[in-house]
């Protein structure tokens, strides 16, 4: 028995319903514990001065929203060292990559928290090390809570786009030729989270290699 595995584009593999409700609950609780602690959630301000429409938490390394570089401490926010990346989190990402026929050794997990108005504009993820990008080492995404309207395009901003609903417990692995595709989140489908998670909105975890 294995969960379904849908290759949306070469190297872009959707794993619907990969995580059990119990596995989801453990991740949600752990993220909320860190997020509500002293090195908790913040709203990044990007280059140009705009605020992002998500709350963020970087584990293992910090992604600086001003410089688009990874660093040890939250220099664009409160100067605190990034909380460690829990090994149980990384283990989930490694399992998902394996189910998609890929491999990564994550050194960072970026947790995005979307409330009802949360969204993320179209962008590429290319701040990781050049060798990681060139080799197509995947980013692994874990969705928890409300379903997201995830938008995926091509290698240029104007390419055709598709909408893929990402539901709670879904994995998505973006490696190989899909590693540099443009993507974003158009919004949430409100009140679609499993009630048992006690999560208002959505958490997305992205695991990355090459932030060190
Ligand atoms: C496709 N997060 O954190 S995850 C991000 O749902 C980000 O919070 C979105 O985009 C979210 O950078 C989407 C799915 C994702 C992540 C990385 C990708 C899709 C990707 C890299 C290349 C192509
Ligand atoms: Fe992204």
CATH code at position 61: 2.60.120.590
Asked whether residue 137 is assigned to any structural domain, the reply reads yes
Please give the tally of structural domains in the chain. 1
Domain carrying residue 147: 6-208
Asked whether residue 26 is assigned to any structural domain, the reply reads yes
Asked whether residue 1 is assigned to any structural domain, the reply reads no
Alpha helices (H) in the chain, listed in sequence order: 21-35, 87-99, 130-135
Residue 176's φ and ψ, nearest 5 degrees, are 50, -130
Beta bridge partners of 202: 114, 145
Confidence of residue 3 (pLDDT cuts 50, 70, 90): confident
Beta bridge partners of 172: 14, 141
Confidence of residue 76 (pLDDT cuts 50, 70, 90): very high
Q: Would you state the structure tokens that stand for residue 156, as one six-digit string? A: 């240029």
User: What is the torsion angle, in degrees rounded to the nearest 10, for the CA atoms of residue 132, residue 72, residue 82 and residue 139?
Assistant: -10
Asked whether residue 61 is assigned to any structural domain, the reply reads yes
Nearest CA to ligand 1 atom 22: 179
First to last CA, the chain: 36
Instruction: Give per-residue pLDDT as tens, 40-66.
Output: 999 999 999 999 999 999 999 999 999
Instruction: Give per-residue pLDDT as tens, 4-29.
Output: 899 999 999 999 999 999 999 999 99
Q: Which ligand ends up closest to the CA of 140?
A: 1
Q: Which of 112, 135, 176 to mutate to test the pocket of ligand 1 (most atoms within 8 A of CB)?
A: 112
Q: Which ligand ends up closest to the CA of 180?
A: 1
Expressed in angstroms and rounded, the spacing between residue 211 Cα and the centre of ligand 1 is 15
Mean pLDDT of 188-204: 98
E strands in 54-190: 55-59, 62-64, 69-71, 108-114, 120-123, 139-145, 147-152, 162-166, 171-174, 183-189
The whole-model pTM stands at: 0.98
**What pLDDT is stored for residue 1 in this prediction?**
61
Asked whether residue 186 is assigned to any structural domain, the reply reads yes
Classify residue 87 by its DSSP letter: H
Q: Would you state the structure tokens that stand for residue 42, as one six-digit string? A: 């913040």
Expressed in angstroms and rounded, the spacing between residue 192 Cα and the centre of ligand 2 is 22
Mean pLDDT of 166-185: 98
Asked whether residue 142 is assigned to any structural domain, the reply reads yes
Mean pLDDT of 178-186: 98
Asked whether residue 78 is assigned to any structural domain, the reply reads yes
Closest ligand 1 atom, residue 139 Cα: 17
Q: Which of 46, 111, 120, 141 to mutate to test the pocket of ligand 1 (most atoms within 8 A of CB)?
A: 141
What lies within 8 Å, CB to CB, of 73 at 6+ separation is 62, 79, 80, 81, 82
Asked whether residue 174 is assigned to any structural domain, the reply reads yes
Nearest CA to ligand 1 atom 13: 184
Closest ligand 1 atom, residue 143 Cα: 6
Nearest CA to ligand 1 atom 14: 141
Q: Would you state the structure tokens that stand for residue 201, as one six-digit string? A: 């909105």
Confidence of residue 132 (pLDDT cuts 50, 70, 90): very high
Expressed in angstroms and rounded, the spacing between residue 1 Cα and the centre of ligand 2 is 31
Residue ranges around ligand 1 (CB below 6 Å) = 110, 112, 120, 125, 139, 141, 148, 150, 152, 172, 174, 178-179, 181, 183, 185, 204, 206
Classify residue 73 by its DSSP letter: B
């Amino acid at each position: 028995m294995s969960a379904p595995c849908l290759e949306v584009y070469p190297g872009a593999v959707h794993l619907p319903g990969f995580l059990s409700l119990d596995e989801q609950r453990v991740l949600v609780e752990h993220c909320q514990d860190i997020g509500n602690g002293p090195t908790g959630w913040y709203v990044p301000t990007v280059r140009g001065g705009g605020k992002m429409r998500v709350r963020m938490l970087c584990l293992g390394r910090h992604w600086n929203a001003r410089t688009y570089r990874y660093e040890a401490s939250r220099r664009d926010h409160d100067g605190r060292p990034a909380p460690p990346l829990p090994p149980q989190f990384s283990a989930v990402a490694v399992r998902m990559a394996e189910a998609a026929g890929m491999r990564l050794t994550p050194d960072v997990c970026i947790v995005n928290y979307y409330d009802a108005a949360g969204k993320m504009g179209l962008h590429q993820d290319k701040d990781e090390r050049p060798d990681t990008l060139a080799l197509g080492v995947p980013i692994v995404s874990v969705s928890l809570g409300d379903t997201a309207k995830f938008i995926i395009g091509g290698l240029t901003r104007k390419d055709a786009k598709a909408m893929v609903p990402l539901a709670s417990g879904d994995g998505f692995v973006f490696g190989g030729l899909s590693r540099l595709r443009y993507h974003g989140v158009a919004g949430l489908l409100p009140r679609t989270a499993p009630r048992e998670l006690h999560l208002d909105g959505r958490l997305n975890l992205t695991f990355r290699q090459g932030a060190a």
